Structure 1
């Protein structure tokens, strides 16, 4: 771990001359991002969700969001470019994407004006909702004629929640499933939306003076454990049935969300 700390000193990423995190915390952050990448490599989703959940236990919520910005941007751009349905997705989802992106900044104001314990509790609740729906395969259905007014509304809610908690998936994932997106289109759609949300988070956190030079350096370095985790996850994918892994994962996420919620209150 000392070697990793020296890397930051070498590139002068400690702008204040003081360590951002002590060695033990830095190691815990490395492991948390590694685990998030492992999940991403195993089932294709969950990097931001799991990363935020674990990092919130280690550090505060604004730091957790900032630490994942650059690895999230890299993985989401890659995800958005794979699938061959980019134009179709943009045509169908542009009202949701634009509305969600615009609302991120308003949500991020809460990070400096609302008690972080309340925001952490909200994060825990979102994790429980997302995991419960995913675990039991609960799906809603939206008729095509209702998409015109519902998409901006979903985007508004999603953008505010993203700005407040750093979580991208609620309620957009439920909406994408409800309008009938199949697996490949669903994954690419998430990549497109998450890329836009990540870019707006970067701007918003910078505006709120949360994204400092030091945290930017750590976020850039976080690409490495994320990639290592993805590669390990791809190996695990070949050995463990995906359905079994997903059930274990979502059960653990429900437990983690409950822990975060009760610990924050």
Structure 2
């Protein structure tokens, strides 16, 4: 138990560093790592409260940089709806299948980022696709705890500058996790023990965020991003192989 808690805290610290650096990506690190020790169901539940707290803080911190509120509201509302139905899927699907899904999503995210680094989406088309993209991201967030293959990829393709990207995706994540939290309680996946660990996990997560902001200025976004991608690749393979 002590080992699993220590690994979970390290995972949240790493996730906080990534979030502080680029504004997103925390669940892509935290959920696969904690899934190894807690199982996917509890890993998703464990992540919700720290994610909700950190995204509220980051959305508020960068709130003045939101320009197109209609675009953001489409993502927020559809993401929340998707997260509710995704949580129902989480409660119904077997753990091994979810482990394979989480690992596959992480691999997809790594592969897409490496193979299509310059892919972009016209902003007018992106506004039209905001609602379905938010819905799909919410479904992934609720069912597997990871929405990055859709949410991060979609907003990255729009080429939003960092100061707009961070509040946009943070608002979206806030909506999804705000719906996830009571939904997880309702389906019986949020125990008092998981809730207690979640509260403690907020400490390394918030501690890592300013470290990430400093680190990204020192080593550069590209090198830092490549290091994270390599780590995710190893974690994803571990999850998939462990479930097969």
Distance (Å, rounded) in 1 between the aligned partners of 2:147 and 2:59: 14
Give the structure 2 partner of residue 141 of structure 1.
121
Distance (Å, rounded) in 2 between the aligned partners of 1:181 and 1:231: 21
Give the structure 1 partner of residue 72 of structure 2.
93
What is the CA-CA distance between 1:146 and the residue it aligns to?
6.6
Distance (Å, rounded) in 2 between the aligned partners of 1:175 and 1:233: 22
Contact 2:54 2:206 in 1 (8 A): no
Contact 1:139 1:174 in 2 (8 A): no
Distance (Å, rounded) in 1 between the aligned partners of 2:126 and 2:19: 32
What is the CA-CA distance between 1:200 and the residue it aligns to?
0.9
What is the CA-CA distance between 1:161 and the residue it aligns to?
0.9
What is the CA-CA distance between 1:189 and the residue it aligns to?
0.8
Structure 1: 5+ residue runs without aligned partners? 1-21
Distance (Å, rounded) in 1 between the aligned partners of 2:149 and 2:19: 17
- Equivalent pairs counted in the alignment come to 242
**Structure with the higher fraction of residues in helix conformation:** 2
C-alpha distance 228-176 of structure 1, shift in aligned 2 (>3 A): closer
What is the CA-CA distance between 1:50 and the residue it aligns to?
0.8
Contact 2:74 2:130 in 1 (8 A): yes
1:248 corresponds to which of 224, 227, 242 = 227
Alignment of 1:26-37 (within 5 A): 26-37=5-16
Name the larger-Rg structure.
1
C-alpha distance 112-93 of structure 1, shift in aligned 2 (>3 A): same
C-alpha distance 89-73 of structure 1, shift in aligned 2 (>3 A): farther
C-alpha distance 263-95 of structure 1, shift in aligned 2 (>3 A): same
TM superposition score normalised by structure 1? 0.82
Distance (Å, rounded) in 1 between the aligned partners of 2:29 and 2:207: 16
- In the alignment, structure 1 residue 111 sits paired with structure 2 residue 86: no
Give the structure 2 partner of residue 183 of structure 1.
162
Give the structure 2 partner of residue 120 of structure 1.
99
Distance (Å, rounded) in 1 between the aligned partners of 2:105 and 2:154: 15
User: What secondary structure is seen at the aligned counterpart in 1 of 2:149?
Assistant: coil
1:164 corresponds to which of 136, 140, 143 = 143
Structure 2: 5+ residue runs without aligned partners? none
Contact 2:24 2:169 in 1 (8 A): no
Give the structure 2 partner of residue 5 of structure 1.
none
C-alpha distance 117-84 of structure 1, shift in aligned 2 (>3 A): same
2:152 corresponds to which of 144, 167, 173 = 173
- In the alignment, structure 1 residue 197 sits paired with structure 2 residue 192: no
TM superposition score normalised by structure 2? 0.89
- Superposed CA RMSD: 2.2
